[in-house]
Amino acid sequence: MNSRITVTAQAPPRHRMAGVLASSTIGSVVEWYDYNIFATSAAVVFPSVFFPHATPFVGAMESFATFAASFVLRPVGALVFGHFGDRYGRKTSLLVTLLMMGAATVLIGLIPAADTIGPAAPLLLVLFRIVQGVALGGEWGGGVLLTTEHAGERRRGLWGSLPQIGSPAANLCASGMMALAAAVSGDAFLQWGWRIPFLAGAVLLLIGVVLRLTVSDSPAFRKIKQEGQTARFPLLSLFRHDTKNLLLAAGSRIGVDVAYYTFATYSLSYLTANLHLRTNVGITALAVGAACEIVLIPLMGALSDRIGRKKVFLGGLAVFALWSFVFFPLVGSGSPALVILAFAVALGLGHAGTWGIMGSLYPELFRTQERYTGASFSFQLAGIFGGALAPFVATTLVASSLGLAGVTIYLLGSCALSCGCLLALPETFRSHLRVAEPGRQPGPAFPNERKERP
């Protein structure tokens, strides 16, 4: 009978850990770069290129629909790649997801406009976006597991936060490439300039593949593989042992997703469509916010090693909730400096304080046998109810009688939901990573008698 026990992780040699961190972090940058240039383009490019005959409101909604399509498939990717990652190893799954994401991104950059090939253009856009969604669904969990399962216990929060830098770093790269493409192409940006960032993804893909070929699977996975303890059906095993943690982890992320995609994606459309500001104002503000995140994410991860994952996560949610009253008034001022400030606080404090903790908190909630599936599926399941809907809901609310006040209420409700789920989760920062072994009697998931760190 399998049961839950804990095992103590030892920090690997520094040279090996450096290779793991480089592979996970840079691979994460590649995946999120590909994903984020689509998000930015969905707000400022695709309505004109792929939905040129729709009204501005309908065009924006159709564009955000292509953006949302990937969220529906991300849990599928989490289950598929989580299954193979828990059964056969993290490394192979990560290589496949990276190749899928890179190929889809380059192909998006080659799609002719709707004026050239008609309805086939948006259909191809949705198809390649779905491939991106499946790939990212398997990427995130495997990337953070490589670091958390290699890391020593005292710094697992710090090491687990480093792959999370991939998202804002990719955002910075994507914003920079979009700004560069806009500067190079000028008035022809909507004709061909927007394609440059997508095609440039091929270079990042090559770098990511080379790095991922150099790392090995984690010691935690190799141990259960050698001892024949891998779960035959990780998803079924996950529901048998950790259904509560799975659902609570998903709920804890919904508010983060709603806030992030409202601030970082919908607001770009709001700046151009509603306020008629130049595109580069929003892109610059997004880049500054991403730069703030890159600095603060590892600090938040390190802080969680000292005071706990939940306290830091709750602090980030509090920033999101409070900033929901301030963000759009600052953006609505039309002042580039105030727009930049709005993004810097929302992303640099709110998102860094939550996003930076997920890389350690979610893997710590699940056993090694189902960790890839559990961390990935809970993370991606939240995206359907959070990130996928946020741009739609915000666009609809702003067009209604509620206006921006409705968006604030939506943000507050989402953050309250996440706070409740987070408070119901166990605190994991002093717990060893769990693994099941035969011949042990069942025990609590996070026993009080566990060995504490000095």
Buried-exposed string 374-394: b where 16+ CB fall within 10 A, e elsewhere: bbbbbbbbbbbbbbbbbbbbb
Confidence of residue 4 (pLDDT cuts 50, 70, 90): very low
Query: What digits encode the pLDDT tens for the residues 347-375?
Result: 999 999 999 999 999 999 999 889 999 99
Is the per-residue pLDDT at 310 higher than 90? yes
Q: How far apart are CA 286 and CA 294, in angstroms?
A: 12
Q: How far apart are CA 252 and CA 382, in angstroms?
A: 8
- Please name the residue that has the structure tokens 């946020």: 390
Query: What digits encode the pLDDT tens for the residues 200-234?
Result: 888 888 888 888 887 777 787 888 888 888 888 99
Is the per-residue pLDDT at 445 higher than 70? no
For 135-141, what is the mean pLDDT? 87
Mean pLDDT of the residues in the chain: 84
Q: How far apart are CA 186 and CA 234, in angstroms?
A: 51
Listing DSSP states for 168-183 in one string gives HHHHHHHHHHHHHHHH
Residue 312 confidence (pLDDT): 97
- Where in the chain are the domains? 11-430
Who has greater pLDDT, 308 or 401?
A: 308
For 14-38, what is the mean pLDDT? 76
CA distances from 172 to 23, 133, 289, 407, 415 (A): 19, 20, 9, 26, 25
Among 149-153, 182-186, 367-371, the range scoring the smallest mean pLDDT is 149-153
Structural tokens at position 136: 């990212």
For 172-185, what is the mean pLDDT? 84
User: Do 107 and 225 form a contact (C-beta atoms < 8 A)?
Assistant: no
Is the per-residue pLDDT at 45 higher than 90? no
Confidence of residue 48 (pLDDT cuts 50, 70, 90): confident
Is the per-residue pLDDT at 422 higher than 90? yes
User: Do 211 and 22 form a contact (C-beta atoms < 8 A)?
Assistant: yes
What are the two backbone dihedrals, phi and then psi, of residue 435, each rounded to the nearest 5 degrees? Answer: -145, 150
For 382-400, what is the mean pLDDT? 87
Q: How far apart are CA 11 and CA 164, in angstroms?
A: 20
Alpha helices in 308-389 (DSSP H): 309-323, 327-332, 336-345, 352-364, 371-385
Residue 436 confidence (pLDDT): 54
Is the per-residue pLDDT at 298 higher than 90? yes
Whether pTM > 0.85 for this model: the answer is: no
Confidence of residue 435 (pLDDT cuts 50, 70, 90): low
Residue 362 confidence (pLDDT): 95
Q: How far apart are CA 357 and CA 203, in angstroms?
A: 30
Confidence of residue 441 (pLDDT cuts 50, 70, 90): very low
Residue 15 confidence (pLDDT): 57
Helices 279-307 and 309-323 sit at what angle, rounded to 10 degrees?
Answer: 150
Who has greater pLDDT, 391 or 236?
A: 236
Residue 249 confidence (pLDDT): 96
Confidence of residue 434 (pLDDT cuts 50, 70, 90): low
Q: Which range has highest mean pLDDT (178-192, 260-274, 302-316, 372-386)?
A: 302-316
Q: Which range has highest mean pLDDT (134-138, 178-182, 248-252, 435-439)?
A: 248-252
Who has greater pLDDT, 392 or 442?
A: 392
Q: Which amino acid is at 14?
A: R
Confidence of residue 52 (pLDDT cuts 50, 70, 90): confident
Residue 437 in 3-state DSSP? Answer: strand
Range 11-430 classified under CATH 1.10.3720.10: no
Residue 353 confidence (pLDDT): 96
Q: Which amino acid is at 339?
A: V
Among 138-142, 242-246, 268-272, 422-426, the range scoring the smallest mean pLDDT is 268-272
For 420-424, what is the mean pLDDT? 97
Query: What digits encode the pLDDT tens for the residues 84-110?
Result: 989 888 888 888 988 998 899 899 999
Residue 390 confidence (pLDDT): 86
Confidence of residue 442 (pLDDT cuts 50, 70, 90): very low
